[in-house]
Amino acid sequence: MLLKKKTIPEIGSEDLKINRISKPVDAILNLIFSIWSLACILPLLLVVIVSFSSEQSIFQNGYSFFPSEWSLDAYRFFFKLGDQLVRSYGITIFVTVVGTLFSLFITAMFAYVLSRSDYAYNRLFTVLMLFTMLFNGGIVATYMVNTQMLGLGDSVWALILPMSLNAFYVIILRTFYKGIPLEIIEAARIDGASEFKTFFRIVLPLEKPGLATIGMFTMISYWNDWFLGMLYIVDQKKYLV
């Protein structure tokens, strides 16, 4: 990113080359990064190869990059699970889709409200939200409250609701919203748009990039979440993938 040619026409290209790192240094850096890249990829490759190698060959050679025999047995076994597999994937997909949508919906609205400096309870709600970042009940108290008081034990909603509001994402989105000048909102109000209309027709479309970022993070955390499932789900029929 340093010193692109077009940004400084005054200084000749000769000077630019001076500020670049030398070829040997570049080679060393490349070497380091290549090794790290391999370290990132190879273990994954191993898992994939192991999944395709036959049980016999694992028995003989252990887990290896070069199995003596290939087979699809693991996948055959996997798909034989049939019903259970379909149901598990179904629940995971349901949790991810519904969770992400619901989470985005409430996070976006909450962040917008907090970004409005003319909103009366702005400070109160911000403090309330920030406090949840600093202090929380921990898993035991949360678990007891959710199962005993809210009746969420062994239900899909236990996988969706607790994760749906993340104070950190609200803060990120709020910063995004602050980039929208208040004049736009005021103009919309003068033109007769209600608060809801202003939000859904003007503010949301302007914030698509922010929403996409947050949406992606939320989706990944829902998809990868196994902890809540392990904690709350007892009935095997509701097991996740």
| Interacting positions 140-199 with other proteins (CB under 8 A) | 140-146, 148-150, 161-162, 164-165, 170, 179-180, 184, 187-188, 190-196, 199
The strand pairing partners of 53, in sequence order, are 70
**Closer CB to other proteins, 84 or 224, in the complex:** 224
99, 222 contact by CB (below 8 A): yes
Return the number of other C-beta atoms located less than 10 Å from residue 241's C-beta: 14
217: nearest Cα among 103, 92, 88: 103
Residue count, binding to other proteins (CB under 8 A): 97
Which CB atom, from 143 or from 156, has the smaller least distance to other proteins?
Answer: 143
Instruction: Quote the least distance from Cβ 157 to other proteins, whole Å.
Output: 11
Residue closer to other proteins (CB basis): 95 or 199: 199
Stretch that binds other proteins, among 11-19, 69-77, 83-91, 93-101 (CB under 8 A): 11-19
Name the one residue in this structure whose structure tokens are 């009746």: 151
Question: What is the C-alpha to C-alpha distance for residues 30 and 63, in angstroms, rounded to an integer?
Answer: 30
CA dist., res. 67 & res. 48, Å (int): 12
Q: Provide the minimum distance between the beta carbon of 229 and other proteins in the complex, in angstroms, as a whole number.
A: 11
Q: How far is the CB of 5 from other proteins (least distance, A)?
A: 11
Restricting to residues 74-133, which ones interact with other proteins according to CB under 8 A? Answer: 105-107, 109-110, 112-114, 116, 119-121, 125, 128-130, 132-133
As given in the structure block, the two tokens for residue 86 are: 């379909």
The string over 43-70, giving b where at least 16 C-beta atoms fall within 10 Å of a residue's C-beta and e elsewhere, is eeeeeeebeebbeebbeeeeeeeebeee
Kindly state the smallest distance separating residue 53's Cβ from other proteins, in Å: 11
202 binds other proteins (CB under 8 A): yes
Q: Per-residue contact track with other proteins, 26 to 55, x per CB under 8 A?
A: x--xx-xxx-xx-xxx-xx-xx--x-----
Which position among 52, 89, 94, 227 is part of the footprint of other proteins (CB under 8 A)? 227
Q: How far apart are CA 161 and CA 150, in angstroms?
A: 11
